[in-house]
Each structure stands twice: as structure tokens, then as C-alpha cells.
Amino acid sequence: MRIHLANDHAGGDLRTTLLHWLEDRGMDITDHGTPDGNSVDYPDHAHPLAQAVSEENALGILICGSANGVAMTANKHAGIRAAIAWRPDIAVLARQHNNANVLCLPARFIAIPDALDCVKAFLDTPFEGGRHERRVTKIACS
């Protein structure tokens, strides 16, 4: 499975942990993030991830302090449905009901074990379709 990963300076530690966790599970990862804590502008990392996810029909994981900035940025791209999650049940519903293709994690508000649980839930949960398909098709603007 192709996974795109990106972060800003607030998400460096979580990014490193997730990168190794995903590699250990045999995921094909493209890293668009920054490896250190030097201040960066989150759109500079979120835009390339969102573009790649949209073009490749892949999945993405974005990390910033609150997850709001990266979610807002990613959701500007056609075909992207970025969802913020801080608990696994929220990640499950984002996939099941909203067909989210980008998971956004709030590095300053989530413990690493909880973030790993969210990522696992996100990756393991399929879109339910059915009545949700009709709603998801109404998300995009013309």
C-alpha cells in the first residue's frame, strides 16, 4: 500500500516513529516531511502530499501541532478528504463514513501510542459505501 507522510516542525518526533512503524509493516512510503524541529511552513509539506495522494489515489498522513493547518491545506485539493483524528474511533468513522484519504494527527495533543492506534485504524478500515457514498459525492465543489 502506498502511503504519503508529511509533517511540520511540531510533528518531527511523531513522524519518525510513524515512518519506522509503517516501514516495519512493509508499507511503500513517500516522505514529504521535515526530519528536524526547525520551523517550517506546514503548507510547504501538506500541498505536495495532497497532490500526490490525489494523483496516485493513495493514502496520506499529515502531522502538525493541532492538525488544523495541514487539514485545511490538504482539503483545498480536489479529491482530498482530510480528517483530523485523535482517537481510533474517529479515524475509523473518517474512513467508513467519509472515505477520508488523508489522516491528520495533532502532534501536540496526542500521545504516540494513541497516534499509532489512529493510523492502524485508518489503514485497516475500508469505506462502507452505501448511503455514505451519496453524501461523500456531495462534498466536492464544482
* CB distance 29 to 54 below 8 Å: no
Identify whether 9 is a catalytic site residue: no
Catalytic residue among 4, 45, 64, 118: 64
| 88/29 Cα distance (integer angstroms) | 21
Give CA separation, 132 vs 13, 39, 43, in Å.
35, 39, 29
| 113/141 Cα distance (integer angstroms) | 36
Catalytic residue among 4, 47, 97, 104: 97
Identify whether 64 is a catalytic site residue: yes
What single DSSP character describes residue 65?
S
Residues annotated as catalytic (active site), given as ranges: 64, 97
